Amino acid sequence: MSINLLETKAYDYPLPAEMIAQYPAQRRELSRLMHLNCTSKEVLHRSFTEIKDILCEGDLLVLNNSRVIPARLFGKKANDTKIEVFLLNPAEEPNHWHCLLYPAKRIKEEQWLYFSDNLKGWISPAREDGTWKIRMESDDDFWQVLDAVGHVPLPPYINRPDESDDKSRYQTVYAKHNGSVAAPTAGLHFTKELLEEIKAKDIEIEELTLHVGLGTFRPVKTDNIKDHIMHSELVEITPKTAEHINAAKQEGRRIVAVGSTSVRSLEAFYTDAGLRSGLAQTDIFIYPGYNFKVVDAMITNFHLPQSTLLMMISAFGGYEYIKEAYSVAINKGYRFFSYGDAMFIEK
């Protein structure tokens, strides 16, 4: 029976709940790494620390340096009714944020919400898309207060409250720019020492910024993937990064993207004249049939069934090959999703 790769159900697969990683590996670099070669169709099993041996001299590694913010805030109304606020992204006005509320039915009108002695927010009426807007006020530096008061926005399939270690482990070691509400998880496996070892092999490292939104966790709910409305995320690629990537492409060197966010950013900013620089929103949706323009290899984690991320790596690696690799991963006990193990996929 032929499979229609435009049908969402083609990207479903059974996953035992116990294979969803609830905690990260004891050491970042000791996660497992499945090594896929799309030409030979091999499936090799390694430790992530071996990535330095898999990468070749001359490769250019692209990292997403967005920093996860402690986006979950537990507050209360003036009458002590509890309200949870999930910050999504900054609004146009200074100190304003788009957010979600839970339970939203407890908010009937504009009012103050209180999160600590030094942080409160004025909540505005709900918008048509179901989000709200909140004006945050603090006497001290907002980011310092948020770091002290806010909670790590662990994804919904991690069935536990956030813990103190999550503040460092649900963050890449190279995170710089505040803005993500979910980690660019492929990068969680790198340590500073491992990155230095990679540089020592004459492998160039460049960075871009894509702030990961909540939409990354939303499954495709349409029967046909072409009917899915892709979420939009903010990307910035500097002139230096674009120049170095364009030079590497012209010299025939591999571009290795760390994470689906880096892949989407690079492919979205490609033009006939090469990779452009700039700051812009992207809603690029990559699924089988897409012709990759920039990326030659990628590092990625194992993704949710029927997710846009699984569709993207199926486009890169080939649907049947990726499907078989996932089956092997389940049989061999790989750990799945954000805190799970990784794949290296090369053409």
Is residue 38 over pLDDT 80?
A: yes
Please give the pLDDT value at position 12. Answer: 96
Please give the pLDDT value at position 130. Answer: 84
> Mind listing the pLDDT tens digit for each residue in 225-268?
999 999 889 999 999 999 999 999 999 999 999 999 999 999 99
Average pLDDT over residues 111-117: 97
Is residue 216 over pLDDT 90?
A: no
Is residue 345 over pLDDT 90?
A: yes
Is residue 218 over pLDDT 90?
A: no
Over the chain, what HEC string results? CCCCCCEHHHHCCCCCHHHECCCCCCCHHHCEEEEEECCCCCEEEEEHHHHHHHCCCCCEEEEECEEECCCEEEEECCCCCEEEEEEEEECCCCCEEEEEEECHHHCCCCEEEEEECCEEEEECCCCCCCCEEEEEECCCCHHHHHHHHCECCCCCCCCCCCCCCHHHHCCCCCCCEEEECCCCHHHHHCCHHHHHHHHCCCCEEEEEEECCCHHHHCCCCCCEHHHCCCCCEEEEECHHHHHHHHHHHHCCCCEEEECHHHHHHHHHCEECCEECCEEEEECCCCCCCCCCCCCCEEEEECCCCCCHHHHHHHHHHCHHHHHHHHHHHHHCCCCECCCCCEEEEEC
- Quote the mean pLDDT of the chain: 96
Q: Which domains does the chain have, with CATH numbers?
A: 8-68+167-346 (3.40.1780.10), 72-149 (2.40.10.240)
Is residue 278 over pLDDT 70?
A: yes
> Mind listing the pLDDT tens digit for each residue in 39-58?
999 999 999 999 999 999 99
Tell whether omega for the bond before 103 is within 30 degrees of 0, i.e. cis. Answer: yes
Buried b vs exposed e over 49-84: b needs ≥16 C-beta within 10 Å? Answer: bebbebbeeebbbbbbbbbbbbbbbebeeeeeeebb
Is residue 1 over pLDDT 70?
A: no
Please give the pLDDT value at position 246. Answer: 98
> Mind listing the pLDDT tens digit for each residue in 77-108?
999 999 999 999 999 899 999 999 999 988 98
pTM: 0.95
Q: With bands split at pLDDT 50, 70 and 90, how would you rate the model's confidence at 292?
A: very high
Average pLDDT over residues 15-35: 97
> Mind listing the pLDDT tens digit for each residue in 301-338?
999 999 999 999 999 999 999 999 999 999 999 999 99
Is residue 194 over pLDDT 70?
A: yes
Q: With bands split at pLDDT 50, 70 and 90, how would you rate the model's confidence at 183?
A: very high
Please give the pLDDT value at position 337. Answer: 97
Q: With bands split at pLDDT 50, 70 and 90, how would you rate the model's confidence at 129?
A: confident
Unique residue bearing structure tokens 């490609």: 270
Please give the pLDDT value at position 231. Answer: 87
Tokens of 192: 């500073």
Q: With bands split at pLDDT 50, 70 and 90, how would you rate the model's confidence at 128?
A: confident
